Amino acid sequence: MSQLVFIAFQDNDNARYLVEAIQEDNPEAEVQHQPAMIRIQAEKRLVINRETMEEKLGRDWDVQEMLIDVISIGGNVDEDDDHFILQWN
Amino acid sequence: MAVKNKKLNLKDKYQYLTRDMAWEPTYQKKKDIFPDEDFEGIKITDWSQWEDPFRLTMDAYWKYQAEKEKKLYAIFDAFAQNNGHQNISDARYVNALKLFLTGVSPLEYAAFQGYARVGRQFSGAGARVACQMQAIDELRHSQTQQHAMSHYNKHFNGLHDASHMHDRVWFLSVPKSFFDDARSAGPFEFLTAISFSFEYVLTNLLFVPFMSGAAYNGDMATVTFGFSAQSDEARHMTLGLEVIKFILEQHEDNVPIVQRWIDKWFWRGFRLLSLVGMMMDYMLPNKVMSWAEAWEVYYEQNGGALFKDLERYGIRPPKYQDVANDAKNHVSHQAWSTFYQYSQATNFHTWMPEEDEMKWLSEKYPETFDKYYRDRFEHWDKEQKAGRRFYNNTLPQLCQVCQIPTIFTEKDDPSMLSHRQIQHEGERYHFCSDGCCDIFKNEPEKYIQAWLPVHQIYQGNCEGADVETVVSKYYHIKLGEDNLEYLGSPDHQRWLEIKGLKPRASKPGSEQDAA
């Protein structure tokens, strides 16, 4: 059986960069646009890297900043200064 | 790294500001300070194993929460100043908000009380901090929801006395008793019930597709508070998953206890969500996805992945999951039928779906809608048009556990009502399902105390014996304004006036309602 992790963001300006960064680092991920929100799912694992986000934004970015725009997640969370990972074991 | 970044890294900061703020007591015994920690039989051998994956500290918490609030209230202001209520898809939509304000927002407050209480009960500092933050979040949700909907209260009926209604109205005993059950349990069961079963497994079904639906129906204020609340929920869900993993890893004796709680709270949550299913399929004029589709994505798919992950601890998917999965094609229709018949006793209006909505329902429920529900709806529609709008004047049989009228059908026979009964100490008790009956059998001494609204009316505890008196005096529902059919209601009239479809009736006192 397939085991999908997912993350959903509010469809706003911040999320645009998050989605771009996620697509770059997780080429397999599927991006779904729904009213007012963007939902991204992937098999087993999804990563958001601080470095990629900083490149996209052209400024320093704290991983915890995403708490403002995230709507929901599915998967075990592993977060530190450099990345945010969702995964099923 | 260390040179570039003088700040503490996330892990160290969390360690200093959370765990290191705690101390080992010496004046008092730990057992006396945390007396509730072991009576449920849960064995914790090492609290330091508790993981908080978000590693959120209080300073960061205030910073991000303040930012969320600023964004949220800017939108509330804009919504009110621009008469946002005039831009919703249809005034029927507001009835979903009436149900939300009386049924859901008081639960946020109950959650605040619950987390404030259990946050005091754990001897581990990590768990205490996580519960404290969640308590504050829940209070915020309750407040922001009331603020968001206060604008609608200026223009539509039924929103004027939510907390009074929550404690009394028959269908609101369903959400109320759900949370009272959790709050009167021990601290670990509360976390399993609310953090894990409700927040992690089921809350997406309430907030994600429904709020997306609010956006699709032009309700900027609601979608904003919904998603703002849900952004806290991501943290709560993570707490929920960590709680379960932590308890299971601490001792193998914990596994059967947790499994029984998961079975119980999955079933209770599933029953509670019948209300949300009906909101999505019937109360959103512009539809995003059906309840069955939402259940497939957020329970069958995401829940499936979750329970596969928990297999290694010896946890299996919840008992009666098969019944719940099958019911996704029925519950919203059965719930809406019930509310349609009992609209004389609700603070919101009901109606029969319009033809294009019936068509949508047939498409989304190809196996069930035309076969089991369409005829009944068409009949009621005909009766309404002939001036004989149907109301059911017999009070329904309630389930002793979930408190929903026994309206659901058998898994293998949708033409047969599901009903179970047992005798306990000489009294007979009734249930909607095996799921609810099992819950009773495990803790009869708890559920024999249930405050069942129908029984209370018959016992004379609700200020009168007839529906009108109970509804107006005891519930504070204004007869002829808040309740009954939507078509022709004051809300419907007002909406037609707003849309310029009919000249405004000149009745005294209505002038300042014009926005």
| Lookup: tokens for A25 | 């680092």
Residues B413-422, mean pLDDT to the nearest whole number: 96
Q: Which chain B residues touch A if contact means CB-CB below 8 Å?
A: 5, 9-11, 53-56, 60, 64, 67-68, 71, 204, 207-208, 211-213, 215-216, 223, 227, 230-231, 233-235, 237-238, 241, 288, 301-302, 304-306, 308-309, 312
Res B439: pLDDT: 98
Q: Give the whole-number percent of chain B exceeding pLDDT 70.
A: 96
More confident: A2 or B365: B365
Q: Enumerate the domain spans of chain B.
A: 49-498
CA A26, CA A44: separation in Å to the nearest integer?
11
- Say if residues B138 and B61 touch (Cβ distance below 8 Å): no
Residues B374-384, mean pLDDT to the nearest whole number: 97
pLDDT in tens, A32-63: 998 889 999 999 999 999 999 999 999 999 99
| Single-letter amino acid, residue B226 | G
Q: What HEC string does B248-285 produce?
A: HHHCCCHHHHHHHHHHHHHHHHHHHCHHHHHHHHHHCC
More confident: B200 or B456: B456
**Crossing angle between the packed helical segments B58-81 and B220-250, to the nearest 10 degrees:** 160
CATH class of B49-498: mainly alpha
Res B207: pLDDT: 81
| Lookup: tokens for B191 | 């976390």
Q: Is A12 within 8 Å of chain B by CB? A: no
CA A58, CA A68: separation in Å to the nearest integer?
19
Res B21: pLDDT: 83
| Torsion, CA B98, CA B103, CA B109, CA B111, rounded to 10 | -150
Best residue of B10, B203, B210, B286 to probe chain A, by most A CBs closer than 10 Å: B10
Residues B277-282, mean pLDDT to the nearest whole number: 96
CA A23, CA A56: separation in Å to the nearest integer?
12
**Strands, E assignment, B55-148:** none
Q: Give the whole-number percent of chain B exceeding pLDDT 90.
A: 80
Under the banding of pLDDT at 50, 70 and 90, the label for residue B233 is confident
pLDDT in tens, B48-78: 898 887 888 888 899 999 999 998 999 999 9
Strand pairing class (A83-87; A76-79): antiparallel
Q: Where are the alpha helices (DSSP H) in B274-429?
A: 274-278, 291-295, 302-310, 321-327, 331-341, 355-364, 374-385
Under the banding of pLDDT at 50, 70 and 90, the label for residue B151 is very high
More confident: B21 or B425: B425
- Report the SS3 class of residue B429: strand
| Single-letter amino acid, residue B131 | C
Res B2: pLDDT: 47
Res B56: pLDDT: 85
pLDDT in tens, B480-500: 999 999 999 999 999 999 998
CA B473, CA B133: separation in Å to the nearest integer?
39
| DSSP code, position B370 | I
Res B515: pLDDT: 36
Res B488: pLDDT: 96
Lowest mean pLDDT among B173-182, B259-268, B457-466: B457-466
Half-sphere exposure of B395 (CA within 13 A, CB side): 19
Identify the CA nearest to B101 among candidates B37, B169, B54, B45.
Answer: B169
Strand (E) or helix (H) holding A38? strand A37-43
- Say if residues A38 and A3 touch (Cβ distance below 8 Å): no
Res B409: pLDDT: 98
| Sequence-distant (≥ 6) Cβ neighbours of residue B485 within 8 angstroms | B343, B349, B350, B351, B384, B389
Best residue of A7, A48, A61, A73 to probe chain B, by most B CBs closer than 10 Å: A73
Identify the CA nearest to A83 among candidates A56, A49, A55, A53.
Answer: A49
Distances (CA, A) of B10 to B53, B60, B68, B244: 10, 10, 21, 24
b/e burial code for range B427-455 (CB count within 10 A of at least 16 → b): eebbbbbebbbbbbeeebeebeebebbbe
By C-alpha distance, the chain B residue nearest A2 is B305
CA B93, CA B491: separation in Å to the nearest integer?
11
pLDDT at B178 over 50: yes
- pTM flag (> 0.90): yes
Res B513: pLDDT: 43
Identify the CA nearest to A9 among candidates A87, A84, A60.
Answer: A84
| Single-letter amino acid, residue B383 | E
CA B29, CA B459: separation in Å to the nearest integer?
48
Residue B288, judged by CB atoms within 10 A of its CB (0-12, 13-18, 19+), counts as buried
By C-alpha distance, the chain A residue nearest B7 is A81
Q: Is A85 within 8 Å of chain B by CB? A: no
- How many interchain CB pairs under 8 A, A with B? 101
Res B202: pLDDT: 84
Length of chain B: 515
Under the banding of pLDDT at 50, 70 and 90, the label for residue B250 is very high
Which residues of A are less than 8 Å from B227 in CB distance? 10, 36-37, 71
CA B94, CA B90: separation in Å to the nearest integer?
8
pLDDT in tens, B425-476: 999 999 999 999 999 999 999 999 999 999 999 999 999 988 999 999 999 9
pLDDT at B235 over 90: no
pLDDT in tens, B92-150: 999 999 999 999 999 999 999 999 999 999 999 989 989 999 999 999 999 999 999 99
pLDDT, averaged across chain B = 92
- Look up the ipTM and state it: 0.86
Res B3: pLDDT: 54
CA B171, CA B471: separation in Å to the nearest integer?
12
